[in-house]
Amino acid sequence: MILTTKIDTSIIKKYDIRGIIGQNLKIEDGYKIGKKFAQFLGTNAKICVGYDGRVHSPQIEKKVIEGLCFSGANVIRVGLCSSPMLYFATQLTNADGGIMITASHNPAQYNGFKFYSNKIVFGEKEITTFMSIDAESSISNYTVLNCNIYTQYIEILRNADKGVGNKKKLKIAWNCSNGPTSSIIRHIQKILPNHEHIAINNTIDGSCNPDPIEQQNLNKLINTIREHQCDIGIALDGDGDRVCIVDSEGHTVPNDYLFMMFIKETLTKGDKVIVDIKSSMKISDLISRLGGIAITSATGHSIVKKIMIKENAKFAGELSGHFFFAEIGFDDGMYAAVKLINILQKYKNLGGIMSKLPKLYISPEIKIEVQEEKKFQIIDLLKKELEQKNIMFSSIDGIKIILKKGWFLLRASNTQNYITARCEGQSNEDFKKIKNLLDQYIERIKLLNKS
């Protein structure tokens, strides 16, 4: 029996649908979402469906497929997979669209949906549009086929390793975050046969926290690196589209540096690169110095992807660890990791690569916990206060104030109940001054959250 309760609109985010199971997101919502999505794409649309390792994902998948079938879709069941695998499946099968059941790096009680198409980039506008469809009329003709794409996807990863002369054998630690990349890592010797691999958190467990930068998960990877004297540690998030790197000393490599590593190795004159607003200003400086064109984007998968397509960009990156490669057409943590390993073989260690890059004076991303319903209101209030003081700022994504020798940023998270902050200076002295200024705004946020 299909329940007729309405879907809680609070689960519709900037670039996906995401909520807490049993609170604002119900298993049965999968049926209604599948039904609406199929009717949005049109009669007899071919739609791939995949799901991550969360406990409730298989139940939601069943409901999604029921909804798709109600609307006459031709369903391709990809099964348990990473988000990049689902994206790849839609390309491989020439599908009209895809639904990935996942809440990415959110805690275990969350779940949600990412939407993909080779023709449409699904952001808040597109999701809201198809979710408003009154999908009641039934179309009886539908098909459901199972599709195993592991062999083809592994070949994509293997081809990312272009090879360099005098290959250096590396010892690599992998943290799969108990997510779908656990099923891929068992094939790692086929992908990177010339290295030694040590995998942790490499069994599917939907009850675990799949955020690779959560301190407990990060500590486990660091301990593994130190115990086995690994050259590099690689952590992947709950659905495999995001990567975090740890060096041989157990230090987390800021994604600003990782971004610059990819740029330095791949950029050719005239290439366009999409840089999210949270990233270091020195990334854009490097792109310009190498003859490329840097284009600033708001943070968010669908936002970055839309601009990348519009500008025909070669590469894009986000501070969160999403890296988009034009040759595959989507962001993929495993693909980025293989690319980095290929680069690392040319150098003694990660430190050797970073020493050739601009020195950064930049804060980590600072999370200020606020009430969910207040996070955007607080940003709007701060904007009004700045306008009243005639202080100039960029509103591409939140508030970014560009100063003579640096910047600071305040923006509401699209996926969690935080306002995030970051700042950067040209020198350490500049950074300290800007950080003191940012701290004043952080205190203001805390006061507004209490009011």
**Selection from 178, 245, 255 nearest residue 210 by Cα:** 178
Provide the pLDDT for residue 268. Answer: 94
**Selection from 177, 223, 170, 450 nearest residue 333 by Cα:** 177
Establish whether 104 is a catalytic residue.
yes
Structural element, H or E, at residue 43: none
Fold of 361-450: TATA-Binding Protein (3.30.310)
**Selection from 98, 163, 212 nearest residue 338 by Cα:** 163
Q: Would you say 56 and 207 are in contact if contact means Cβ atoms under 8 Å apart?
A: no
Q: Would you say 307 and 274 are in contact if contact means Cβ atoms under 8 Å apart?
A: yes
Check whether 3 has a pLDDT greater than 60.
no
Round to whole Å and give the CA distance between 405 and 398.
Answer: 20
Model confidence over 295-340: pLDDT tens digits? 999 998 889 999 999 999 999 999 999 999 999 999 999 999 999 9
Check whether 243 has a pLDDT greater than 70.
yes
**53, amino acid identity:** G
Q: Which two tokens stand for residue 12?
A: 């519709």
- Residue tagged 């293997």 (tokens): 158
The CATH classification number of 9-148 equals: 3.40.120.10
Q: At 135, is the pLDDT very low, low, confident or very high (cuts 50, 70, 90)? A: confident
Say which of 57, 71, 83, 104 is annotated catalytic: 104
Model confidence over 396-426: pLDDT tens digits? 999 999 999 999 999 999 878 999 999 999 9
Fold of 152-354: Alpha-D-Glucose-1,6-Bisphosphate; Chain A, domain 3 (3.40.120)
Say yes or no: do domains 9-148 and 152-354 share a fold. Answer: yes
Q: Which two tokens stand for residue 443?
A: 């205190």
Mean pLDDT value across residues 170-176: 96
The reported pTM is 0.93
Check whether 242 has a pLDDT greater than 60.
yes
The string of DSSP codes covering 114-142 is: EEE-SS----HHHHHHHHT----S-----
Which is more confidently placed, 118 or 324? Answer: 324
Q: Would you say 407 and 283 are in contact if contact means Cβ atoms under 8 Å apart?
A: no
Check whether 1 has a pLDDT greater than 50.
no
| Domain spans, the chain | 9-148, 152-354, 361-450
Check whether 38 has a pLDDT greater than 60.
yes
Q: At 347, is the pLDDT very low, low, confident or very high (cuts 50, 70, 90)? A: confident
Bridge partners, residue 200, by sequence: 175
Provide the pLDDT for residue 164. Answer: 57
